Structure 1
Amino acid sequence: MRHRLLSEFPTLVLDYDAVDDLLHARWGPAQTLASTQAGYEQILTVLPAQHCHRLLDDRRQSHLMWDELATWMATDWCPRAHAAGLLRHAVVFAEDFFGHLATELVLARVDGYGQLMGFSSEAAARHMLLAS
């Protein structure tokens, strides 16, 4: 079995790709600041439980734009994720302008916590995660 479904909610679907050894997070369009932070907290508990060091963070359907989220990701979540073993984090940009901008803000503020990069396609993001 390639994918193992770990959780499924309207705001976030998490599955583990056992072949490529990565956690795949697919965000739904109905997000609030609180639901997004709760989703990232859930990711933070799943990463070490799966002994996984790669996150495919698919935000294509996301429609959020909060400066607080970008600050929280850069100063709080990313350092904790790195400490928990996250080495590569590939984000697929939202198709929505504001969702894309929110991810750009996070990328601009995060520095020194493994590889965090944004991509326009899932294929490109997956390629970065699997590159040695």
Structure 2
Amino acid sequence: MSDQILFSDTYLTLSYHKSLDCIYADWIGFQNLQTIQDGCERLLEAMVEKGCTKVLNDNTRVEGIWSSAAEWVGVDWFPRVRQAGMKCFAWVYSPSAFSRLSTDKSLRFTNDVTGIQIFDQRAEAEAWLAGILEKSVN
């Protein structure tokens, strides 16, 4: 996959993946309300800047619980990212049970989960996004 790094910090790296025409968000370590809000806002900006409608949100390297941000993600951020054009959101679970609970909690706060898929492996998420890309080309 070709990468163009758009943002990098200790808690998150955002890249544009040309082959999948998506923003790849690689979250790292323990997260809290502030890092989630800052990272999600940067992700939204990157999506708009690149004109992407797809996101690969990878929580593989996330540790612990971040449920303090779950309501904000579901109620505030997801509607805005949809309004900005997001159509497909591939969310890769963390191996951390607590992080998985936070992901699930975010989705319970989300009114419209259309186009959002949860995966256990990044390869599965990439295959799903590639399938979406293939369908849009044909």
**Taking structure 2 as the reference length, what is the TM-score of the superposition?**
0.88
Partner of 1:26 in structure 2? Answer: 26
Superposition deviation, residue 113 in structure 1: 5.2
Partner of 2:107 in structure 1? Answer: 107
Distance 2:119 2:9 in 1: 24
Work out whether residues 14 and 24 of structure 1, in 8 Å CA contact, stay in contact via their aligned partners in 2: yes
Partner of 1:116 in structure 2? Answer: 116
Instruction: Kindly tell me the number of residue pairs found equivalent between the two proteins.
Output: 132
Matches within 5 A, 1:13-92: 13-92=13-92
The reply on whether 1:4 has 2:4 as its aligned counterpart is yes
Distance 2:66 2:5 in 1: 29
Identity of aligned residues (%): 27
Cα RMSD over matched residues?
1.6
Report the residue type matching 2:8 in the other structure.
E
Distance 1:7 1:70 in 2: 23
Distance 1:115 1:64 in 2: 26
Superposition deviation, residue 68 in structure 1: 3.3
Ranges in structure 2 where 5+ consecutive residues have no aligned partner: 133-138
Report the residue type matching 1:21 in the other structure.
D
Superposition deviation, residue 60 in structure 1: 1.1
Work out whether residues 16 and 22 of structure 2, in 8 Å CA contact, stay in contact via their aligned partners in 1: yes
Distance 1:129 1:109 in 2: 24
Q: Deviations over 1:17-39 (max 9, x none)?
A: 01210110001103222011100
Superposition deviation, residue 88 in structure 1: 0.5
Q: Deviations over 1:54-105 (max 9, x none)?
A: 0000011112424331111111000000000111101100111101111111
Distance 2:5 2:23 in 1: 10
Ranges in structure 1 where 5+ consecutive residues have no aligned partner: none
**Taking structure 1 as the reference length, what is the TM-score of the superposition?**
0.92
Distance 1:2 1:60 in 2: 20
